[in-house]
């Protein structure tokens, strides 16, 4: 399996009130093409910081991140912006969208702003891709709705569409189901699995065992470092979810979860 | 606890609080100083006139014998409407005969015939004061000069000046710059120089009668106005009334421009206060929206609305007090700076009263600020503990969003589209900025249009004169054959600059009456030599062609109750003539009164009555300044000046005052626009940090996000400048027109300089706004994507 991302000795330190706070200490792991990894751990363990740091959303204090063979740790702001635009997608806990745009326009906005979204033909193609994604995630009916007119689950699926519009190599998700009810969360996870099966690599941060159990692999973080990893294998059938949750919970409990 | 919260707020919103404070300082300083200046100007005119004891009617006779005859004749009146008449002799001196001991900076006044004269210090009426407001006292060898000479010819106290008169030369040391309310205004082209009684007697004995005149001061009887007195003098069927006269009420009217400018500054201050209040409202609402969590929590722990409101009120009270205090201190030097011009001409009176007025103005600003803040903080009542707990969402559905046409239909670049869509979604957010930009544009364009009109060729027509390219100063020619001289001179000029018109306008001050003699008025009119009366512009009718035809101003026609085709009686060279009114025209000279005779009307044309010598170049291939240079070279003894210089000499300090006002407006508006743009961009950006983070996460570069932020501000600017330009060029021009109409114009021809109005002003605002916006969006680069979670 090709490696999309290599994370080597990542460190992240904050200094607050003259006190040094080491949030990440020498984190190492590889993200392979087509993988679906969940990062778990107690609050303050550094899960979200790891996600933001390796995706270039925040600068690391030390270490190196290779993305598709390129060292992105010293990328300039514009290079990082291009990386996020073309190769990465993001889904957050809160369903952030631009208030003045419709759901479909929110999905299109980043692609239209890219170099490949300037001409009429290019924009037409992007729109077709967006509509196909919305159909796939079953939200085509809300394409022209305001963001205040749809449910949380629908909005999060729209956020996933937006993250996928430029066909990214890796999709980063920070607690994507954290603000959803169980039914919506289940639906969102179904979509993630579907996307992953179509080839998109996903790195997801979650507190929820039910969510993590639907991924291929779980990394457990504590005190700013990865304390262990658990291979769950590909999630194919809903009927196996209970068993996967049980096994994962047992493994997590062994680590002091 | 209040002070802890306050301290935290001051620290956290440092830039916003500083900008707000600056606005309160600016508003307080301006209201304080402009009220003081307005009061000074209005009261100083009355105060100085009282102190100077200006006569009800001032009659000037530049011919000595004529003056004596005038006195004899008015003394023979059966029922005189005056109690007393005081005569003072004076000696006429030409401007060019007053020479200083240094190279002169400017000589703008030499564009027209300025009547200067030497006089003893008046003791009863039309008294004068020195630069320190003391009654004027002079020793032998000393001279007191008018303010105009100081301003225009740069003559200072201590300078030596030499006056040439009938072949004699007299040397003086400038001892004082005189405040002469009766003759000081730049609207009047008669200026008085004062010397000691001994010096005067010495010069008077050696002066020919042609250079001597009489100033008569008449005091109206109780129960009669100065205008009643003027009418009685005008009705006298005397040759002697050929001199020039004016009333006390006209003296105060001569300072109308100073009052107008002071009034405009008060208006600008009020506008600024309105803007300051809009910003205050915007800032308070923004702060409350931002702090709904804190407010909700305070409510949850049982703090009452009133107590929460007090926290905010304490802050704004403190800001208003500090701003008002600093503003009051600043208003003192600012008001002295703004009243420098008026202080040079008039006595300002009690300084304590002005300070009291400034203080009251500032206190009013502080009081209004607090009341306004109290009203704005009323929104605190609406925030509940639920808001704080549920992150501002109570579970209610939001109102629909006003959307700009879809992203899918746009051809714009995405950051610009986002800017436009922001404006469409919530125009109220940009209201303060829009109003500021519109007002800024209007406040700048109105005085620019006014000054351009005053300096333009249109002004020649509004003065009732013909358009010209150069004004010529001539002092030596054969008076007995003016027509022949003009013909000869025209030929000589045409040898240097072919196809050039050359003409003169002779002024005549006569009595005009209607046939029934129920109404009459002493009016200055013109008769041209070398140019046909038909080459001047008229509002209606046909130019006077025959010897017995006359064109009069519409204002004079209304006063005399005559129209086209009616007859008026005019006394010229001692004879009464009947004229038929053939046309009506306009002039802003002499408060709108004037007439023009046909070039066929024969009359005496002495040098002293030549009001204007002018030429117009008709060949289109050369430019005016080149032609003027050619003429200067060919005729070194003659002064050739531009039209602008002529107008500048006619309008004097009015142009300077408007130029000063434009400068003050540009500085104030530049500052206001800069501060408001900074404040608004910063406030919006603070609120939009999650959006910025979101766009960053979507791969938008910093420059794209900056384009989004700046584009909407510039779009607002563009729309506002268009609206402001329309308002200024319609409503603003209407207001300027009203002022011209007050002066006598009927048809105001505004001069709008396209480059200045449509390019320079918008460009100035664009540069200021762009710099302000660029200075305020540094936060974009610093914003981290994880700040996306700050969205509430």
The CATH number given to whatever domain includes residue A7 is 3.40.50.300
Which of B414, B788, B791 is opposite residue A113, by nearest beta carbon?
B414
Closest by CA position to B763, among listed B666, B627, B638, B645: B666
Same domain, A188 and A63: yes
Give me the pLDDT at residue B389, please: 61
**H or E element that contains B117:** strand B115-119
Cα angle for residues B260, B263, B265 (degrees, 5° grid): 115
Parent domain of A223 = 3-87+169-254
Confirm or reject contact between A136 and chain B (CB < 8 A): no
Cα angle for residues B148, B149, B150 (degrees, 5° grid): 90
Nearest CA in chain B to A130: B408
In angstroms, the CA B68 to CA B150 distance is: 33
* Contact of A89 with A168, CB cutoff 8 Å: yes
Same domain, A126 and A13: no
Q: Name the minimum distance, in Å, from the CA of B698 to any CA of chain A.
A: 6
Same domain, A71 and A173: yes
In angstroms, the CA B674 to CA B618 distance is: 47
Which of B408, B784, B791 is opposite residue A105, by nearest beta carbon?
B408
Instruction: Identify all chain B residues contacting A58, using CB atoms and an 8 Å cutoff.
Output: 784-786
Confirm or reject contact between A102 and chain B (CB < 8 A): yes
How do B549-553 and B575-585 pair as beta strands? parallel
Confirm or reject contact between A14 and chain B (CB < 8 A): no
Which of A57, A123, A127 is opposite residue B697, by nearest beta carbon?
A57
C-alpha A126 chain-centroid distance = 21
What's the number of domains chain A is made of? 2
Nearest CA in chain B to A123: B408
User: Residue B90 region, left (φ>0) first, then alpha (ψ -120 to 50), else beta?
Assistant: beta
Same domain, A161 and A176: no
SS3 call for A91: strand
Same domain, A7 and A106: no
Instruction: Identify all chain B residues contacting A93, using CB atoms and an 8 Å cutoff.
Output: 789
Which of B425, B698, B789 is opposite residue A94, by nearest beta carbon?
B789
In angstroms, the CA A158 to CA A163 distance is: 9
Other beta carbons within 10 Å of A238? 11
In angstroms, the CA A157 to CA B737 distance is: 64
Q: Name the minimum distance, in Å, from the CA of A234 to any CA of chain B.
A: 29
Longest dimension (CA), chain A: 57
- Specify the DSSP class assigned to residue A240: G
Backbone angles phi, psi at B504, to 5 degrees: -135, 150
**Burial of B774 from C-beta contacts in 10 A (0-12 / 13-18 / 19+):** middle
Q: Does residue A92 lie in a domain region?
A: no
Residue predicted with more confidence, B457 or A217: A217
Strand partners, B169: B164
Nearest CA in chain A to B407: A105
User: Are B699 and A109 an interchain contact pair (Cβ–Cβ within 8 Å)?
Assistant: no
Q: Does residue A105 lie in a domain region?
A: yes
SS3 call for A110: helix
User: Are B700 and A108 an interchain contact pair (Cβ–Cβ within 8 Å)?
Assistant: no
**H or E element that contains B710:** helix B702-727
In angstroms, the CA A220 to CA A230 distance is: 8
User: Are A100 and B781 an interchain contact pair (Cβ–Cβ within 8 Å)?
Assistant: no
Give me the pLDDT at residue B715, please: 94
- Mean local confidence (pLDDT), A24-39: 92
Render pLDDT for A192-208 as a digit per residue (tens, 0 to 9). 898 898 889 999 999 89
- How far are the Cα atoms of B339, B350, B456 from residue B254, in angstroms, in the given order? 17, 23, 22
Give me the pLDDT at residue B140, please: 92
- Pick the last residue of a domain from A143, A167, A191: A167
Q: Residue B103 has which token pair?
A: 């190279």
Q: Where are the alpha helices (DSSP H) in B377-505?
A: 385-389, 414-425, 431-455, 458-462, 482-496
**Hunting for tokens 């040094």 — which residue is that?**
A20
Instruction: Identify all chain A residues contacting B789, using CB atoms and an 8 Å cutoff.
Output: 92-94
Which of B403, B690, B702 is opposite residue A102, by nearest beta carbon?
B403
Q: Which residues of chain B carry a pLDDT beneath 50?
A: 104-113, 240-241, 394-397, 791-792
Same domain, A125 and A232: no
Q: What is the 3-state secondary structure (H, E, C) of B536-567?
A: CCCCEECCCCCCCEEEEEHHHHHHHCCCCCCE
- Specify the DSSP class assigned to residue B731: I
Confirm or reject contact between A101 and chain B (CB < 8 A): yes
Closest by CA position to A102, among listed A140, A153, A133: A140
In angstroms, the CA B37 to CA B333 distance is: 11
Confirm or reject contact between A116 and chain B (CB < 8 A): no
Confirm or reject contact between A128 and chain B (CB < 8 A): no
User: Are A108 and B694 an interchain contact pair (Cβ–Cβ within 8 Å)?
Assistant: no
Instruction: Identify all chain A residues contacting B403, using CB atoms and an 8 Å cutoff.
Output: 100-102, 146
Residue predicted with more confidence, B720 or A184: B720
* Contact of B130 with B179, CB cutoff 8 Å: yes
Same domain, A179 and A163: no
User: Residue A233 region, left (φ>0) first, then alpha (ψ -120 to 50), else beta?
Assistant: left
Same domain, A106 and A138: yes
User: Are B407 and A105 an interchain contact pair (Cβ–Cβ within 8 Å)?
Assistant: yes
User: Are A84 and B699 an interchain contact pair (Cβ–Cβ within 8 Å)?
Assistant: yes
Q: Name the minimum distance, in Å, from the CA of B31 to any CA of chain A.
A: 41
Helix B653-687 vs helix B256-290: angle between axes, to the nearest 10 degrees?
A: 0
Q: Does residue A33 lie in a domain region?
A: yes
Q: Residue B110 has which token pair?
A: 């030499």
Q: Name the minimum distance, in Å, from the CA of A101 to any CA of chain B.
A: 7
Give me the pLDDT at residue B397, please: 47
Same domain, A39 and A162: no
Backbone angles phi, psi at B245, to 5 degrees: -140, 160
How do B212-220 and B82-93 pair as beta strands? antiparallel
Instruction: Identify all chain A residues contacting B415, using CB atoms and an 8 Å cutoff.
Output: 113
Q: Does residue A215 lie in a domain region?
A: yes
* B-contacting residues in A 227-246 (Cβ below 8 Å): none
Same domain, A10 and A129: no
* Contact of B451 with B647, CB cutoff 8 Å: no
* Contact of B522 with B560, CB cutoff 8 Å: no
Nearest CA in chain B to A148: B398
Which of B400, B414, B696 is opposite residue A146, by nearest beta carbon?
B400
* Contact of B178 with B144, CB cutoff 8 Å: yes
Backbone angles phi, psi at A91, to 5 degrees: -130, 130
Which of B414, B703, B791 is opposite residue A109, by nearest beta carbon?
B414
Same domain, A131 and A177: no
In angstroms, the CA B108 to CA B639 distance is: 12
Residue predicted with more confidence, B759 or A237: B759
DSSP per-residue string spanning B192-242: EEEE-HHHHHHHHHT--GGGEEEEEEEEEPTT--HHHHHHHHHHS--GGGG
Confirm or reject contact between A146 and chain B (CB < 8 A): yes
Q: Residue B277 has which token pair?
A: 């209040």
- Mean local confidence (pLDDT), A133-154: 88
* Contact of A88 with A94, CB cutoff 8 Å: no
In angstroms, the CA A214 to CA A36 distance is: 9
* Cβ within 8 Å of residue B12, ≥6 positions away: none
Same domain, A67 and A185: yes
Q: Residue B517 has which token pair?
A: 């003699």
Question: What ipTM was predicted for this assembly?
Answer: 0.88
- Specify the DSSP class assigned to residue B405: S
Nearest CA in chain A to B693: A57
Instruction: Identify all chain B residues contacting A92, using CB atoms and an 8 Å cutoff.
Output: 697, 788-789
- Pick the last residue of a domain from A118, A148, A167: A167
DSSP per-residue string spanning B488-520: HHHHHHHHHSSSEEEEEEEEEEEEEEETT-SSE
Considering the entire predicted model, what is its pTM? Answer: 0.77
User: Are A123 and B408 an interchain contact pair (Cβ–Cβ within 8 Å)?
Assistant: yes
Closest by CA position to B547, among listed B521, B523, B574, B527: B527
In angstroms, the CA B99 to CA B114 distance is: 15
* Contact of B154 with B105, CB cutoff 8 Å: yes
- Pick the last residue of a domain from A167, A187, A221: A167
In angstroms, the CA B243 to CA B69 distance is: 11
Q: Does residue A56 lie in a domain region?
A: yes
- Which chain B residues have any C-beta within 8 angstroms of a chain A C-beta? 397-398, 400-401, 403-404, 406-408, 414-415, 418, 421-422, 424-425, 690-691, 694, 696-704, 781, 784-786, 788-789, 791
Which of A77, A101, A162 is opposite residue B421, by nearest beta carbon?
A101
Confirm or reject contact between A86 and chain B (CB < 8 A): yes
Which of A57, A99, A127 is opposite residue B401, by nearest beta carbon?
A99
Give me the pLDDT at residue B710, please: 93
């Amino acid at each position: 399996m090709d490696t999309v991302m290599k994370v080597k000795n990542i460190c992240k330190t904050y200094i607050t009130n003259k006190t040094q706070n080491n949030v990440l200490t020498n984190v190492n792991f590889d993200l392979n093409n087509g993988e679906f990894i969940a990062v778990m751990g107690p609050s303050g363990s550094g899960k979200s910081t790891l996600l933001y740091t390796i995706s270039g959303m925040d600068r690391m204090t030390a270490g190196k991140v290779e993305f598709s063979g390129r060292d992105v740790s010293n990328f300039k702001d514009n290079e990082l912006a291009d990386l996020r635009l073309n190769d990465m997608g993001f889904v957050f806990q809160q369903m952030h969208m631009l208030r003045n745009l419709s759901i479909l326009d929110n999905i299109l906005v980043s692609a239209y702003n890219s170099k490949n979204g300037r001409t009429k033909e290019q924009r037409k193609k992007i729109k077709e891709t967006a509509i196909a994604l919305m159909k796939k995630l079953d939200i085509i009916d809300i394409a022209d709705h305001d963001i205040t007119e749809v449910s949380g689950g629908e909005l999060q699926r729209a956020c996933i569409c937006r993250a996928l519009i430029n066909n990214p190599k890796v999709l980063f998700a920070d607690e994507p189901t954290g603000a959803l009810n169980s039914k919506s969360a289940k639906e969102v996870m179904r979509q993630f699995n579907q996307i992953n099966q179509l080839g998109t690599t996903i790195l997801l941060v979650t507190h929820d065992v039910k969510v993590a159990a639907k991924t291929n692999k779980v990394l457990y973080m504590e005190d700013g470092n990865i304390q262990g990893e658990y291979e769950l294998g590909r999630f194919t059938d809903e009927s196996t979810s209970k068993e996967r949750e049980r096994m994962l919970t047992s493994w997590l409990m062994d680590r002091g979860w | 606890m209040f002070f802890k919260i306050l301290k935290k707020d001051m620290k956290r919103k440092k830039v916003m609080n500083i900008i707000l404070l600056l606005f309160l300082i600016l508003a307080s300083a301006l209201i304080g100083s402009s009220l003081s200046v307005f009061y000074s100007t209005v009261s100083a005119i009355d105060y100085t006139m009282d102190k100077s004891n200006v006569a009800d009617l001032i009659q000037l006779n530049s011919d000595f014998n004529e003056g004596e005859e005038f006195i004899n004749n008015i003394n023979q009146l059966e029922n005189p409407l005056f109690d007393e008449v005081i005569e003072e002799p004076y000696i006429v001196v030409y401007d060019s005969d007053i020479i200083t001991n240094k190279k002169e900076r400017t000589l703008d006044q030499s564009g027209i015939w300025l009547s200067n004269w030497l006089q003893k210090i008046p003791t009863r009426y039309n008294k004068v004061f020195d630069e320190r407001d003391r009654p004027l006292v002079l020793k032998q060898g000393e001279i007191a000069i008018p303010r105009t000479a100081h301003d225009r010819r740069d003559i200072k106290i201590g300078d030596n000046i030499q006056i040439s008169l009938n072949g004699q030369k007299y040397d003086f040391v400038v001892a004082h710059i005189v405040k002469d309310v009766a003759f000081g205004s730049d609207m009047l082209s008669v200026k008085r120089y004062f010397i000691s009684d001994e010096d005067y007697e010495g010069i008077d004995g050696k002066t020919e009668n042609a250079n001597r005149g009489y100033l008569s001061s008449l005091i109206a009887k109780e129960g009669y106005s100065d205008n009643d007195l003027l009418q009685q003098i005008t009705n006298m069927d005397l040759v002697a009334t050929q001199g020039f006269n004016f009333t006390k009420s006209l003296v105060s009217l001569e300072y109308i421009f100073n009052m107008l400018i002071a009034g405009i500054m008060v208006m600008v201050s009020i506008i600024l206060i309105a803007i300051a209040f809009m910003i205050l409202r915007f800032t308070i609402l923004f702060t409350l929206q931002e702090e709904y969590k804190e407010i909700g929590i305070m409510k949850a722990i049982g703090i009452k609305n009133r107590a929460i409101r007090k926290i905010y009120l304490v802050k704004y009270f403190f800001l208003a007090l500090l701003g008002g205090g600093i503003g009051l201190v600043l208003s003192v030097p600012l008001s002295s700076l703004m009243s420098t011009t008026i202080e040079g001409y008039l006595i300002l009176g009690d300084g304590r009263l002005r300070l009291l007025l400034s203080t009251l103005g500032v206190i009013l600003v502080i009081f209004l600020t607090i009341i306004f803040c109290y009203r704005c903080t009323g929104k605190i009542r609406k925030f509940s503990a639920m808001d704080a707990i549920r992150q501002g969402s109570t579970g209610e559905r939001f109102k629909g969003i006003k959307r700009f046409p879809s992203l899918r239909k746009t051809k714009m670049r995405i950051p610009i589209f986002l800017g436009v869509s922001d404006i469409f979604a919530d125009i109220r957010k940009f209201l303060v900025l829009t109003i500021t930009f519109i007002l800024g544009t209007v406040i700048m364009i109105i005085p620019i249009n006014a000054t351009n009109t005053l300096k333009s060729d249109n002004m020649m027509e509004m003065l009732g004169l013909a358009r010209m390219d150069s004004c010529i100063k001539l002092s030596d020619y054969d008076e007995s054959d003016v027509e022949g001289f003009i013909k000869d001179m025209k030929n000589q000029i045409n040898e240097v600059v072919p196809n050039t018109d050359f003409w003169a306008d002779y002024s005549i001050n006569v009595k005009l009456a209607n046939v029934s003699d129920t109404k009459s008025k002493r009016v200055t009119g013109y008769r041209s030599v070398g140019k046909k009366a038909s080459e001047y512009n008229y509002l209606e009718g046909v130019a006077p062609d025959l010897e017995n035809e006359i064109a009069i101003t519409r204002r004079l026609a209304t006063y005399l109750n005559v129209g086209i085709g009616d007859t008026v009686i005019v006394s010229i060279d001692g004879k009464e003539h009947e004229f038929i009114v053939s046309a009506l025209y306009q002039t802003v000279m002499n408060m709108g009164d004037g007439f023009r005779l046909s070039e066929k009307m024969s009359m005496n044309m002495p040098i002293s009555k030549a009001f204007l010598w002018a030429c117009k170049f008709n060949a289109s291939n050369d430019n005016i300044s080149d032609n003027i240079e050619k003429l200067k070279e060919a005729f070194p003894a003659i002064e050739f000046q531009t039209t602008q210089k002529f107008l500048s000499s006619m309008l004097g300090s009015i142009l300077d005052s408007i130029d000063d006002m434009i400068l003050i407006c540009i500085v104030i508006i530049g500052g206001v626009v800069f501060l408001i743009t900074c404040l608004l961009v910063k406030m919006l950006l603070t609120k939009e940090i999650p959006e910025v983070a979101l766009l960053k996460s979507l791969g938008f570069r910093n420059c794209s996000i900056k384009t989004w932020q700046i584009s909407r501000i510039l779009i607002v600017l563009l729309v506002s400048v268009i609206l402001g330009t329309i308002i200024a060029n319609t409503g603003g021009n209407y207001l300027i027109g009203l002022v011209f109409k007050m002066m006598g114009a009927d048809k105001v021809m505004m001069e709008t300089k396209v480059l200045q109005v449509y390019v320079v002003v918008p460009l100035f605002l664009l540069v200021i706004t762009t710099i302000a916006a660029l200075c305020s969006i540094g936060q974009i680069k610093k914003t981290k994507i994880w700040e996306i979670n700050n969205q509430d």
